[in-house]
Amino acid sequence: MALALAAGFGLVAMSWPLLAAPGGALTETTSGPWLFALLLPLVTATAVIQLTEGGLDARAVAMLGVLSAVVAAVRPFGAGAAGVETVFFLIILAGRVFGPGFGFILGCTGLFASALLTGGVGPWLPYQMLASAFVGLGAGLLPGTAAGTRAGRAGELALLAVYAACSSILYGLLMNLSFWPFAFTQGNLAYVPGGGLEENLSRLLAYSFVTSLGWDVGRAVTTVVLVLLTGPLLLRVLRRAARKANWV
């Protein structure tokens, strides 16, 4: 329930420009977006606390701390230059092995720890944490494969690579949603208050294509390459750790 609450509220908080009705409080004033920005960290923290208290034992919390530290350590190697991101491959692989709840929390804590390490704390951080949490959540919800066979392992790796590409593009789209309404006030790329889902979605896609597609493609390529290079080894290591810890 905590996971569903955080995910549902996060989607609404990010996609309010597409859902706001004409004449509503979100389109007539600027209080709505600020309210979402203030409540988002509280909802995310509540979900993390509930999951760690009820769904994760001490071994899981220890694993979460280790992987969060690794995410924070490897992120500076990418630094987002030209879309190069070295953080999402580990969130995807861990979410695949340990499940959607663990992947969701790792996306939040990993990005938070890396922001503290790199000085990337700002009003954009809650949206980054939630968007990366969705990446880990989706990896944990992917269908299972026969990972015990060579064909099964190859199929799983291919599935994770496709997911890595798609989630990297969607991450960029979600992040654009968090600031796009304030980026432009006029023109074909600008947000139209209360303009409806179809009109504003087409404008958002055009804005993303013009401004951030290069970074999103770079992120997708980097994540896919890292998943393919490290996946065979890291999946075995993480699953071995899960077995030795008697992970449920």
Q: What is the pLDDT of residue 230?
A: 94
Domain 2-244 grouped into CATH 1.10.1760: yes
Residue 201 CB contacts under 8 Å (≥ 6 apart), including other chains: 18
In this prediction, residue 15 carries a pLDDT of: 77
Residue 175 to residue 18: CA distance in whole angstroms: 14
Residue 46 has what pLDDT?
A: 65
CB 233 within 8 A of CB 215: no
**Residue type (1 letter), 104:** F
Any idea where the domains of the chain sit in the sequence? 2-244
Give the model's pLDDT for residue 58.
73
Name the stretches of the chain with pLDDT < 50. Answer: 28-29
Q: What is the dihedral of CA 162, 164, 168, 171, to 10 degrees?
A: 110
Give residue 248's pLDDT.
53
Q: What Rg, from alpha-carbon coordinates, does the chain have?
A: 18
Q: Residue 201 half-sphere exposure, CB side, CA atoms within 13 Å? A: 6
What pLDDT is stored for residue 160 in this prediction?
95
Q: Which residues of 184-207 are buried (b: 16+ CB within 10 A; e: fewer)?
A: eeeeebbbeebbeeeebeebbeeb
The pLDDT, as a whole number, for residue 49 is 67
Residues 6 or more apart in contact with residue 225 via CB below 8 angstroms = none
CB 158 within 8 A of CB 115: no
Q: Tell me, what DSSP letter sits at residue 79?
A: T
Taking the CA atoms of 235, 107, 48 and 170 in sequence, report the sign of the dihedral they define.
Answer: negative
> For the segment 143-200, what is each residue's pLDDT rounded down to a tens digit?
876 666 777 788 899 999 999 999 999 999 988 887 787 777 777 888 887 677 788 8
Q: Residue holding tokens 């075995």? A: 236
Contact 106, 68 (CB under 8 A): yes
The confidence score (pLDDT) of residue 80 equals: 57
Give the per-residue pLDDT at 62: 83
